[in-house]
Amino acid sequence: MSLPIRNVAIIAHVDHGKTTLVDALLKQSGIFREGEDVPDCVMDSNDLERERGITILSKNTAVKYKDTLINIVDTPGHADFGGEVERVLGMVDGCILIVDANEGPMPQTRFVLKKALEKGLRPIVVVNKIDRPRAEPMVAVDKVLDLFLELGADDDQCEFPYLFASGLSGFAKESLEDESKDMQPLFDAILRHVPPPIGDVSKPLQLQVTTLDYSDFLGRIVIGKIHNGTINMGQPTALLKEDGSVVRGKVTKLLGFEGLKRIEIEQATAGMIVAVAGFADANIGETLACPNEPLALPLIKVDEPTLQMTFCVNDSPFAGKEGKFVTSRQVRDRLLRELETNVALRVEETDSPDRFMVSGRGELHLGILIETMRREGYEFQVSQPQVIFREVNGQPGEPFETLVMDVPDDAVGSVIERLGTRKAEMQNMEAVGNGRTILEFVIPARGLIGFRGDFIRLTRGEGIMNHSFLEYRPFCGDLEMRRNGVLIAFEEGTATFYALKNAEDRGAFFIEPGTKVYKGMIVGEHNRPQDLELNVCKTKALTNHRSATGDELVQLQTPIQMTLERALEYIGSDELLEVTPESIRLRKLLAKKLAKR
């Protein structure tokens, strides 16, 4: 007889402690050997996740507690990866909503909670980080209730159970006055409040694919929950495709989850989450079913993309020098391969074989794809991100976002003024003490493009901003998007200290001496609204006279570091971002023509 099962997802706003809380649950469940070296955020296995400290991909693990198998799905908190949340909520029967005791519900808390409530899930609320300074756990609970009511939760959902916890310290408790040294109260709450999976073992097999993985030995592996029936090792099974076709196959390997490992099993029944090999053509949302009675489950629906950009072959003067995959066919194949696992992404071919229109949930969503591709050895160019317009009640509509900022008091006026030029509407303003103020706005998604750089400057790097998609509203007119002009390299060569020092009064540079440049490459920001071409390769004329100031120590201003996200926000409509495994370069769209002059 199989163990009782609970399937639960962990959902929260980014950086509210989901993955750290999962760490604490795993450590207490006893899946690690005594003395085993366990890294922090053990579920964040992707290199980019570890570097950025965020969860990008949904991942699942399983632990045993009081003879019950608890499948835990860790989901991303950032709204740009909402597709990951939407596709896994269908395979769980409950969820744990984590809220920071200090910050309370944030924009992406609203997003993930809305998706959970739409699925009919009854969340368990965990107020995390209660041991931090300025934590107000009960205020956070009240704010969560307000959010439930605002999102139209039913009476049963509004009567949510809540606990207080610290994932970092590894404890949870039902009341602030209780003593607790471990996560047992949270495990007990899962058993008490998360219903067992609904599924009929006697019905024909139905397993919905929610995640894809790949193994060099087994090929494509599909992961999903068995909604009905039983699946056995070696069993003939039908794959019901999205287009209605049926592909017959056989289960070559059946794997269950135990801690962070996958273990071979002979049989799995309704309610279990398993990994299955043997179906190379399977895609997310499709159904593995009984060949004799093939019944498809409803396809997974995710919100449409709101932002798009053009990916094109690199045609700069430095093209092909640093990348391993540089042709249009290689870039196209990689983008189409991404579609198999990235359900919120769209790729369209254009009238040019070298250009592809790629649409996603936001700048971070597309930025992670770009960073992943460049690390794999791809070389290409991308254009300025553009919002996707749609028809709303017969009128042109555009996406609007909720923007929440935590800013120093002395920067409030300048931030509000700058947002005013971007058609943002203030919803709330709250002084929280210690010289900080919380500002909440609704802003067109267009107004957020390029705003992060301004925000960092206005708050001197001390501000915190978060935003998430709200809804489509009627087009609100042209925005005043001011940006200074750029400094453009005048010729191909190597930038010199002498040339950069002489041009320092013209603006701020993105490069340092020794950087190779080409005609049309953007090397800095002008301190005036116009673009300016500069010769940054000019060398000092040599004479046989020693300069009177030759021994003085002369230093350049520190160049602005252009990270990928910063560059994506910075580029204008007539500019491109050149991405290679080794470099990120900004250039004018006409750089190739300029270089041929």
Q: Is 243 annotated as a binding residue?
A: no
What does the DSSP assignment read for 263-297?
EE-SEEETT-EEEEES-TT--TT-EEE-SSS--PP
Question: In angstroms, rounded to a whole number, what is the distance separating the alpha carbons of residues 4 and 376?
Answer: 42
Question: In angstroms, rounded to a whole number, what is the distance separating the alpha carbons of residues 76 and 56?
Answer: 5
- For residues 165, 170, 173, 176, the Cα torsion angle rounded to the nearest 10 degrees is -60
Amino acid of residue 401: E
Phi and psi, residue 574, nearest 5°: -105, 25
Q: Is 467 annotated as a binding residue?
A: no
> Looking up tokens 């039902």, which residue turns up?
174
Q: Is 16 annotated as a binding residue?
A: yes
What does the DSSP assignment read for 407-424?
EEGGGHHHHHHHHHTTT-
- Report CA torsion sign: 384, 390, 395, 397: negative
Coil/strand/helix, residue 234: coil
Alpha helices in 404-488 (DSSP H): 412-420, 445-448, 451-458
Long-range contacts of 134-138 (CB under 8 A, 24+ apart): 134/102, 134/433, 134/434, 135/101, 135/102, 136/101, 136/102, 136/104, 137/101, 137/164, 137/176, 138/176
Question: In angstroms, rounded to a whole number, what is the distance separating the alpha carbons of residues 305 and 424?
Answer: 21
Nearest-Å Rg of the Cα atoms of the chain is 27
Q: Is 545 annotated as a binding residue?
A: no
Q: Is 596 annotated as a binding residue?
A: no
Question: In angstroms, rounded to a whole number, what is the distance separating the alpha carbons of residues 408 and 410?
Answer: 6
Amino acid of residue 68: T
Q: Is 19 annotated as a binding residue?
A: yes
- Output helix, strand, coil percentages for the chain, rounded to the nearest 5: 25, 35, 45
Q: Which residues pair with 68 in a beta bridge?
A: 65
Q: Is 130 annotated as a binding residue?
A: yes
Question: In angstroms, rounded to a whole number, what is the distance separating the alpha carbons of residues 321 and 51?
Answer: 27
Q: Is 129 annotated as a binding residue?
A: yes
Q: Is 531 annotated as a binding residue?
A: no
Which DSSP letter does residue 16 get? S
303, 358, 380: which is closest to 85 by C-alpha? Answer: 303
Which DSSP letter does residue 204 get? P
Enumerate the known binding-site residues for GTP: 15-20, 128-131
